[in-house]
Amino acid sequence: MKNQLTRREFIKKNALTGLVAGLPVSLLANHNAQPAILGGAPAWNKNNWPIWPQWNPETDEKELISVIRSGVWSRAAMVTEFEKQWAAAVGTQRCLAVVNGTNALVTALAQYGIQAGDEVIVPPYTFIATVSAVLSNGALPVFVDVDPETFQIDPAKIEAKITPRTKAIIPVHILGLPADMTPIMAIAKKHNLVVIEDACQAHLAEYQNKKVGSIGNAGCFSFQNSKNLAVGEGGAIVSNDNAFMDRCFSFTNFGNPYGTAVGSVSTGSTMQGTKLRWTEYQAAIGLAQLRRLEAQTTLRNENAAYLKSKIKDIPGIRPYRLYDQVTRAAFHLFPFRYEAQEFKGLSRADFLEALRAEDIPCSSGYAVLNTQPFLADTFKSKIYQNAYSKETLSSYNEHNHCPQNDQLCKEAVWFTQNMLLASRNDMDRIASAIEKVYQNAEQIKKRAKN
Ligand SMILES: *Cc1c(COP(=O)(O)O)cnc(C)c1O
């Protein structure tokens, strides 16, 4: 309703509020231009977006080559150095590097004793690994709906989902935008729940000037290739809980006591464990990437704020909102909601296609997770059949409806983090392309129908 403005009204309204003066020349000049999908010139030339991951042979290869030539490839000093630097960057006492973010979560849950019979609160708007990690431990993921304005778990809906079986909350700082940690921590304290932050997309994001991952009992990070700190594969657990971190070390090293060097045998395992160690060359790549993370994070924040300011008044474009206590985001993705009715009913798929024709890469983001059939399949296993009542498992879908998330998954549009490393002028090009599609929505819709 609020956004139902014609183009003329839109310009008039914005002219009155002085916004047109602030619009980039490209945006104003372009509003009559033919969209690329209808045969016009694209807003941008193909393949000129910053590549990802970044690598500079001159500055990045020294440690890596020294590792390769040393022949010390299993966990040793380089991994320890990376852990030291990542703990310092996040502001925790400890860090343990592991094979990936998924297993960082699996380990953290296991070492806080989460197991079959327990329930873990998760948001539905997340990467599948958040939920897989809960299932890997035999626990039941309990979905709490999202706040569609922020894309994050809605803290106001958590308490209604807490039962005597609830043991933990996994707030996910999804898209690199921090979840609302103050109410989440208060609820956790009240109900004596462990908080494991899934910060796999939120490197150096901050809430009340504290890095995410350092606020809950533990934080988990991913260094997979697409992530803001990219190593190909990799992950880390951070925490100030020494006993917990010692257990995580043991679990990921065959159960050997904390500090046992690689290659030691007959050390006497302290627990049943597995092996999830990082290699020295992964740490060397990670250290090289860590040197550029701070500046990249600043640039992403600047460009995201600028792009948001340029598109927020286009009817039907609803950019993310950050919670008031967020002091910095990571912007693994730049999200907004797309309201087709404001674009003359042009579907999201057709909107995305038109943007891509302008050489603006974009995607529709996550599909609905909480109703995926793999969940029901998992619950058929002996672990679940033995640990949960028939009633709990058969009414699972009914108790895990997330209507806000269902709608969000239909409306979301994402730009990837590497696009936010481009120039301000390129942010103008994105805005201008969206504006062009808005102007020509009717014709684009007609074309899509034919
Ligand atoms: C990437 C990601 C993970 C898993 O990390 P991997 O390193 O790919 O195993 C978990 N949670 C979220 C939110 C992620 O984005």
- Residues with Cβ within 8 Å of 134's Cβ and at least 6 positions away in sequence, in order, are 109, 114, 120, 122, 140, 141, 170
d(CA 230, ligand 1 centre) in Å: 12
Strands 412-416 and 333-338: antiparallel
- C-alpha 267 to ligand 1 mean position (Å): 32
227 catalytic per annotation: yes
pLDDT at 20: 41
Query: Is residue 28 a part of any domain in this protein?
Result: no
Burial 184-203 (b: 16+ CB within 10 A, else e): bbebbeebebbbbbbbbbbb
Inside any domain, residue 130: yes
CATH of the domain at 188: 3.40.640.10
Cβ(416) – ligand 1 distance below 6 Å: no
**pLDDT at residue 47 in the model:** 65
This prediction has a pTM of: 0.93
Q: Is 198 in the pocket of ligand 1 (CB under 6 A)?
A: yes
For residue 37, is it within any domain? no
Q: CB of 201 closer than 6 A to ligand 1?
A: yes
Q: DSSP label at 160?
A: G
Q: What angle do CA 256, 203, 332 make, to 5 degrees?
A: 130
Choice among 2, 161, 211, 227 that is catalytic: 227
Helix, strand, coil percent content, the chain, rounded in steps of 5: 45, 15, 40
For residue 36, the model assigns a pLDDT of 94
For residue 122, give its domain range. Answer: 57-289
User: pLDDT 10s per residue in the chain (450 long)?
Assistant: 334 444 444 444 443 333 444 444 444 445 558 999 999 988 777 667 999 999 999 999 999 999 999 999 999 999 999 999 999 999 999 999 999 999 999 999 999 999 999 999 999 999 999 999 999 999 999 999 999 999 999 999 999 999 999 999 999 999 999 999 999 999 999 999 999 999 999 999 999 999 999 999 999 999 999 999 999 999 999 999 999 999 999 999 999 999 888 888 767 788 999 999 999 999 999 999 999 999 999 999 999 999 999 999 999 999 999 999 999 999 999 999 999 999 999 999 999 999 999 999 999 999 999 999 999 999 999 999 999 999 999 999 999 999 999 999 999 999 999 999 999 999 999 999 999 999 999 999 998 777
Query: Is residue 223 within 8 Å of 199, Cβ to Cβ?
Result: no
Point out the ligand 1 atom lying closest to the alpha carbon of residue 133.
10
- Asked if residue 129 has its Cβ within 6 Å of ligand 1, the reply is yes
DSSP H stretches of helix in 312-440: 348-357, 373-378, 382-387, 390-394, 396-399, 403-411, 424-439
Looking from the CA of residue 222, the nearest atom of ligand 1 is: 7
Domain count of the fold of the chain: 1
Residue 297 domain-assigned?
no
Residue 175 lies in a domain: yes
- Distance from residue 102's CA to the centre of ligand 1 (Å): 6
- What local confidence, expressed as pLDDT, does residue 46 receive? 63
Please indicate whether residue 216, judged by its CB atom, sits closer than 6 Å to ligand 1.
no
Tell whether 177 is covered by a domain: yes
- What's the confidence (pLDDT) of residue 15? 39
Q: Which atom number of ligand 1 is nearest to the Cα of residue 100?
A: 7
Instruction: List all residues 6 or more positions away from 217 whose beta carbon is below 8 Å from its beta carbon.
Output: 112, 194, 195, 196, 239, 241, 244
User: What pLDDT does 268 receive?
Assistant: 79
Strand blocks (E) in 38-139: 94-98, 119-122
> Distance from first CA to last CA of the chain, Å, rounded?
29
Q: How far is the CA of 226 from the centre of ligand 1 (A)?
A: 10
Q: How many CB atoms lie within 10 A of CB 292?
A: 18
Identify whether 324 is part of a domain: no
Rounded CA separation 14/12 (Å): 5
Within a domain: 108: yes
Would you say 222 and 200 are in contact if contact means Cβ atoms under 8 Å apart? yes
Q: What is the pLDDT of residue 13?
A: 43
Helices (H), 138-279: 181-191, 242-251
Ligand 1 pocket check for 107: Cβ under 6 Å: no
CA 358 to ligand 1 centroid distance, Å:
30
